[in-house]
Structure 1
Amino acid sequence: MKTLAFIISAALLAAGSAQAHGPKSHTSAVVMEQKDWGIAGTARSVQRTITLTMTDNMRFTPDRIEVKQGETVRLRVRNTGKLLHELVIGTPRELAAHAEQMLKHPNMEHDEPYMTHVDPGKTGEIIWTFNRAGEFEFACLIAGHFQAGMKGTITVRAK
């Protein structure tokens, strides 16, 4: 079992993972990879900022946001709790699968432009261009948080 955990950890590190669930600090350029829910945005293209609060009662406020297709948004997240939380954007299916993996491997290392890890009392942000219409989600995937209902909905309205 220890060998399997070592192999998984080594594979994640070899794949370019940057850090475990902890404070986010991009020291390299953000990867501009198209996802079903959009693509990383740039600070100069931000059209508005949406502030979300995350708490230890395993909830986001607000838990529903709406954006226009093509809009670049700064999602600013404030952790008012005493536990580490995160915000991850994705499809319901991908978030559920990732949350399942986090239960099995709570120290999994990763750092993508569609996620931010926020220490207690701190603020994080994601800048994202929602260039595809549809219903997407955001969630905290730290082991047990997603399962406790820490998620929300993003509606991207077509042009």
Structure 2
Amino acid sequence: MKHLILAATLAVASLPVFADGAKTFGFGEPAPASKATRTVDVVLKDIAFEPKSLQVKAGETVRFVVINEGKLAHEFNLGDKAMHVEHQKEMAAMAGMDHGNMAGMDHSQMGHGDNGHDQGNTVLVQPGQRAELTWTFRKSAPIEFACNVPGHYQAGMVGQLTIE
């Protein structure tokens, strides 16, 4: 019985770290806007980001102000290629989704825990709206920022984020 308790304790300790319900990723974690050392505006267009690439420094906390100037709902999602693939599957599986037109959706309608929107690395922004995401980058890693609304990533709505 002691071995079972020890094994369970070790298993729980090996799970991802969560802060305020947000997952800690290898490349960093969500942060309060008050900790930001720099603010970067990211404009979402149909189907593009401005700027097309971003550079940050390891240890830097960046406040992203995400402005949707497009006619479609878009995401700003930080992650590696594998994370984007998984998130795209989650987005496609959401009930009642109209591919490419998520005009009536917001995070409260999406159901936390099953689509990646409660982990702090993603904001969904409706047309004409803005949102913020603040992130502390911990170490260099191959990261992208992307829109994972079905079809948008594949259409080129993805950019490289370099952590120096």
TM-score normalised by the shorter chain: which range applies?
A: 0.7 to 0.9
Unaligned runs of 5+ in 2: 1-18, 98-109
User: For structure 1, which runs of at least 5 residues remain unmatched after alignment?
Assistant: 1-28
2:159 maps to 152
Give the share of equivalent positions with the same residue, in percent.
36
Asked if the contact 1:37–1:91 (Cα under 8 Å) also holds between the matched residues in 2, the reply is: no
Where does residue 37 of structure 2 map in the other structure? 47
Which has the larger Rg? 2
Q: TM-score, normalised by structure 1?
A: 0.73
Compute the displacement of 1:36 (Å). Answer: 2.0
Matches within 5 A, 1:1-20: none
Distance in 2 (CA, whole Å) between partners of 1:68 and 1:91 is: 17
1:69 aligns to what? 58
Partner Cα distance (2:54, 2:77) in 1: 14
1:30 touches 1:40 (CA, 8 Å); kept in 2? Answer: no
Deviation at 1:97, TM superposition (A): 2.3
In 1, the alpha carbon distance for the partners of 2:86 and 2:43 equals: 24
CA, structure 1 residues 32+99, in 2 after alignment: closer, same or farther (shift >3 Å)? closer
List 4+ stretches of structure 1 deviating above 3 A: 104-110
Cα-Cα RMSD: 1.8
Deviations 1:72-104 (A, max 9, x none): 000111100111111111111111222133234
- Give the aligned residue type for 2:25: K
- Show the counterpart of 1:22: none
Equivalents in 2 of 1:30, 1:124: separation in Å? Answer: 19
Deviation track 1:91-123 (CA, whole Å, cap 9, x = no partner) reads: 111112221332343646442211111111111
Check conservation: 1:135, 1:154, Cα contact below 8 A: yes
Aligned residues, how many? 128
CA separation in 2, counterparts of 1:122 and 1:115? 15
